[in-house]
Structure 1
Amino acid sequence: MTVSVLPRGLRGALAVAALALFAGSAPAQAGKITVYTSYEEDELAAFLDKAKKDLPDIEVDVLRLSTGDLRARMLAEASNPKHDVIWGWAATSMVDPRILGMLEPYEAKGLDKVPARFRDAQNRWFATTGYMGAFCVNNEIMKAENLPMPATWQDLLKPEYKGRLVMPNPASSGTGYLHVASILQMMGEDKGWAFLDALDKNMAQYIKSGSKPCNVASAGEYAIGISFALRAIKNIEEGYPITMVVPSEGAGHELEAAALMKSSQNKADARRFLDWILTRAAADEYNNWKSIVTMSDRVMPERFMKAGLPADISTVLFDVDYAWAAENRDRIVAEWQKRYEK
């Protein structure tokens, strides 16, 4: 597989320099596909390096943009899409009816390894990876101040936690939105907003980044950071004195989905690439980077379980309605801002 990076047309987007190492001469009869993605640069480079070994006769041009920028790009190109495959993109964006209309159903080889909750019933998209919410709890603060270890969302309402919590702002952070959207779904909107009102009374601040609440809790600035699991795992591995807590009600999460474009002029190679996404080789590489790998034959890394994830990740995930989260995003964020932004 030969990989090159297309120029970006949107402000603030940077080329994935790490992918330059994949550039080279394709075989004379090589196929060629264009892939749009929102995977982070480092994990994207690792995934493509693995794919290169298994699909040496496919040349891949990759455009990487953030989820929102990629959404804007796809909608702007709706009348004449420029790519063959979309890969590693938020399911809550993929289920936009305008996007779904661009996708061609394809039952990729190995799709039976992906539980139904992680794929479209009409085979328009499937997700092999994702990320999930978690609390980062500073053990030293909890011990020094004799604070109870939380196990649930409801525990965070305890008066002892007043001024000790931080979480991402859902207006700027996908992690923040997955927390808010999952609370409103699991509790119902009336009870969910009442819970968020009560949680706000204990909140020290809302932070733009999804990872920073965990980082500041790890550094001892706050007792509890509401963040995501992989950030907690990495901080634990780096020696920070934190415990990762997955709320027992279930963790909100976002999937990173893949799909075939109807407009693709290279469907045979695009389908081969989508098949590869579901291989054991791909899953082994996902395991190094992702808290959520959806395939049923996944072997959870020992280091992830040591940090607190179960062997079967599906047992701790809240069953998110991705379409609802997508359809109601603007309304929910506007309501959240009206209530809590000061």
Structure 2
Amino acid sequence: MVGCGNDSGTDADKGKSTAAPAKTAEVVIYTNADEEAQTAMKNALDKNGMKGAYLIQSFGTSELGGKLAAEGKNIEADVVTLSTYYLDSFQKKEKLFADLQNKAKTIQPSPSYWTPILGNTGALFVNTEVLKQSKLEAPKSIADLAKPEYAGHISVPDIMGSSTSWLMTQAVMSAQGEEAGAKTVAAIEKNAGAHLEKSGSGPLKKLRAGEAAVGFGLRHQAVADKARGLPIDYIDPTEGNFQLQEAAAVVDKGAKTNPNAQKVVEIIVKYGRPELLKFYPVALYEGETVSAENKPARPSFYKEPLTVELLQKHQKMVKDAGK
């Protein structure tokens, strides 16, 4: 794997640790990341001068968002990793995060106060065996899932419970407009019926079990299943492969800001990204590469900045359209 821009280090640098951190309190990291991402962050920190100098606490996305909203700069955390739309919303309401030092150059523009640690891209996928048994054609678009013939044969995440569903909603709304798109997503959710999932990984699990023929979820998971020989294939929808990122930020506590917080973020990106790329193969920094099968055909981003408020607006539109 290629590292992040000019900060990736040379061959001569490999295996070397950064300078030992100043003697200070542990850097408290609050994260919504799953186990694989947390392990990658820990490995990077432990191997690069921060072993014993940090503490990671795990939260659900909405739980961590709620803590930041309630506690602001009084939060215990020195560093947070969270979906960027949460970080942007909090920074807009209250300058909660400090500008980052020594920030590596990202492929997509990003603000001064967060830097991405991983990306997730949406796609359609099918169980090829169940699709054939159900005598269905593979969909070309997400909107196809609203057609009557797919009723009872699809599994998708619920926009009220999963940010993965927002990738699907953004794609449909970008192609059709918000009002028409909300109606289409509501029709898709209705077609999913009992296979409307609270978890973003739920639909693929239903396809693996043979309980559904078609689903929507995270592209790299379907790519991995296909590579393992499962009867799973992925489809890049005509509406586009939309992306959500999770990023790291330093809580700005003024004079009380932990002096090693910036170093923690720098190490996670500089040394953690190669391992993170293995689990979340979405290139985020200049110089990073992923395998051909992990390159979506239609990478896309929503026309508006992503915020918690925009998510809530889309959630309400979809649920109102389904009434």
The aligned counterpart of 2:83 is 90
The aligned counterpart of 1:332 is 314
Indicate whether 1:171 and 2:153 are aligned. Answer: no
1:146 deviates by: 4.3
Given the alignment, which residue of 253, 263, 277 partners 2:243?
A: 253
> Which amino acid in the other structure matches residue 33 of structure 1?
V
Indicate whether 1:277 and 2:268 are aligned. Answer: yes
Given the alignment, which residue of 105, 108, 119 partners 1:116?
A: 108
Distance 1:291 1:249 in 2: 21
State the TM-score, normalized to the length of structure 1. Answer: 0.77
The aligned counterpart of 1:13 is none
The aligned counterpart of 1:49 is 43
Distance 1:57 1:143 in 2: 52
RMSD of the TM alignment (CA)?
2.7
Which contiguous aligned blocks of 4+ residues in structure 1 show a shift greater than 6 angstroms? Answer: none
Higher relative contact order (CA 8 A, sep 6+): 2
Unaligned runs of 5+ in 2: 1-19
SS at 2:241 equivalent: coil
- Asked if 1 retains the 8 angstrom alpha-carbon contact of 2:79 and 2:261, the reply is yes
SS at 2:159 equivalent: coil
1:159 deviates by: 4.7
Q: Summarize the alignment of residues 31-70 of structure 1 with structure 2, pairs less than 5 Å apart.
A: 31=24, 32-56=26-50, 59-70=53-64
- Write the deviation string for residues 294-325 of structure 1: whole angstroms up to 9, x where unpaired: 1122221x4xx4xx422xx5x63221256445
- Asked if 1 retains the 8 angstrom alpha-carbon contact of 2:169 and 2:182, the reply is no
> Which amino acid in the other structure matches residue 90 of structure 1?
S
TM-aligned CA distance change 1:79 to 1:35, over 3 Å:
closer
Q: Summarize the alignment of residues 98-137 of structure 1 with structure 2, pairs less than 5 Å apart.
A: 101-110=95-104, 112=105, 114-117=106-109, 119-120=110-111, 123-137=112-126
Aligned length: 300
Distance 1:149 1:335 in 2: 28
Distance 2:264 2:76 in 1: 17
> Which amino acid in the other structure matches residue 316 of structure 1?
R
The aligned counterpart of 1:183 is 172
- Asked if 2 retains the 8 angstrom alpha-carbon contact of 1:181 and 1:325, the reply is no
> Which amino acid in the other structure matches residue 241 of structure 2?
A
SS at 1:292 equivalent: coil
Bigger mean CA offset, 231-240 vs 253-262: 231-240
- Asked if 2 retains the 8 angstrom alpha-carbon contact of 1:137 and 1:218, the reply is no
- Asked if 2 retains the 8 angstrom alpha-carbon contact of 1:251 and 1:316, the reply is yes
- Asked if 2 retains the 8 angstrom alpha-carbon contact of 1:128 and 1:293, the reply is no
Q: Summarize the alignment of residues 298-313 of structure 1 with structure 2, pairs less than 5 Å apart.
A: 298-300=288-290, 302=291, 305=292, 308-310=293-295
